[in-house]
């Protein structure tokens, strides 16, 4: 029964693939849709760039915050908890506006203040607010916003490892870093990879919000093209198609990864 369930064909995937093939055929045979696709395809690179850089930085910052929340020092725990709870309570769109128009000028001022001796010597130039592009402001905002959620994923994964294993590793003479690297992290990684993949898919969708800052991603190019040609129906069909292609493909990869990790755990138990 279980084998039959594993082998049954997912009909939703078959229907989605059929719709994708039909839409691609329609685009290839329609000059209007082909032109729209050629225009919007320039935004795919920007969308992927913002998503990949922001997600990588968010993972690094989230790991640091999760580690601080598990620290034996209360000050670090309180600061990390404060950061997580505050950032998680702010909508991504509001965070984008705040970082772009409030945080970025303050960041530039801090940069110039800290490096003022080097600026006076002429070794580096004064940084202006306009030198920090809207693309990088969007990357910073997404990094901060998602790092709070990712830190909770890391914390849950780390806490899923039993304290008995940690105590056994310490009794064998392993340092805290060695215990984390060789005992905790390999086991936690199996638990956090699937939710991390889901957050990556979510970030691709939320990257469409950067269009409010004028970043030339898929959504922004679609907005410009549709407002100039009044082809709203056709343009946003292509916009939705591009995002669905990326998100569904990544969702399938995440599911495949979950299945592979589950099979590896079953084989290790045997």
Count of domains observed in the chain: 1
pLDDT at 147: 95
Mean pLDDT (whole number) for 97-104: 93
Task: Indicate whether 1 pLDDT > 50.
Answer: no
Mean pLDDT (whole number) for 174-186: 80
Residue 242 lies in a domain: no
Residue 101 lies in a domain: yes
Mean pLDDT (whole number) for 236-256: 88
Task: Indicate whether 6 pLDDT > 60.
Answer: no
Mean pLDDT (whole number) for 64-76: 89
Residue 258 lies in a domain: no
Mean pLDDT (whole number) for 226-241: 91
Residue 131 lies in a domain: yes
Least confident of 90-99, 171-180, 239-248: 171-180
Residue 246 lies in a domain: no
pLDDT at 20: 83
Determine the Cα–Cα distance for residues 74 and 82; give it in Å rounded to an integer.
12
Mean pLDDT (whole number) for 67-77: 88
Task: Indicate whether 2 pLDDT > 70.
Answer: no
Mean pLDDT (whole number) for 150-165: 86
Residue 109 lies in a domain: yes
pLDDT at 268: 58
Structural domain boundaries, residue 71: 45-216
pLDDT at 265: 63
Mean pLDDT (whole number) for 47-76: 92
pLDDT at 267: 59
Summarised one tens digit per residue, pLDDT across range 17-55 is 888 888 888 788 888 888 999 999 999 999 999 999 999
Residue 91 lies in a domain: yes
Over its C-alpha atoms, the chain yields an Rg (Å, rounded) of: 23
Mean pLDDT (whole number) for 151-160: 88
Query: Are the beta carbons of 93 and 207 closer than 8 angstroms?
Result: no
Instruction: Give this prediction's pTM.
Output: 0.85
Residue 224 lies in a domain: no
pLDDT at 270: 53
Q: What are phi and psi of 29, to 5 degrees?
A: -100, -5
Q: What is the CATH number of the domain that holds 170?
A: 1.10.3720.10
Determine the Cα–Cα distance for residues 169 and 167; give it in Å rounded to an integer.
5
pLDDT at 158: 83
pLDDT at 4: 47
Mean pLDDT (whole number) for 52-68: 94
């Amino acid at each position: 029964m279980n084998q039959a369930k594993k082998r049954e064909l997912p009909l939703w995937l078959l229907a989605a693939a059929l719709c994708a093939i039909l839409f691609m055929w329609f685009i290839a045979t329609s000059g209007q849709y082909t032109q729209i696709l050629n225009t919007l395809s320039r935004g795919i690179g920007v969308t992927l760039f913002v998503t990949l850089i922001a997600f990588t930085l968010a993972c690094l910052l989230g790991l640091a915050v999760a580690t601080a929340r598990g620290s034996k020092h209360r000050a670090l725990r309180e600061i990390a908890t404060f950061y997580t709870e505050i950032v998680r309570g702010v909508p991504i769109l509001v965070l984008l506006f705040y970082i772009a128009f409030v945080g970025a000028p303050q960041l530039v001022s801090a940069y110039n203040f800290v490096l003022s001796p080097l600026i006076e010597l002429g070794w580096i130039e004064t940084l202006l607010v306009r030198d920090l592009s809207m693309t990088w402001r969007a990357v910073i905002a997404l990094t901060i916003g998602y790092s709070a959620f990712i830190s909770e994923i890391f914390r849950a994964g780390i806490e899923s490892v039993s304290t008995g294993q940690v105590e056994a590793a310490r009794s064998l003479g392993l340092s805290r870093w060695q215990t984390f690297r060789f005992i905790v992290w390999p086991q936690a990684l199996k638990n956090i990879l699937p939710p991390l993949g889901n957050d990556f898919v979510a970030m691709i969708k939320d990257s469409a919000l950067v269009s409010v800052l004028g970043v030339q991603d898929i959504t922004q190019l679609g907005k410009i093209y549709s407002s100039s040609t009044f082809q709203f129906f056709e343009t946003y069909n292509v916009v939705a198609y591009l995002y669905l292609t990326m998100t569904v493909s990544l969702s399938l990869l995440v599911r495949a990864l979950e299945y592979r990790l589950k099979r590896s755990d079953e084989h290790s138990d045997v």
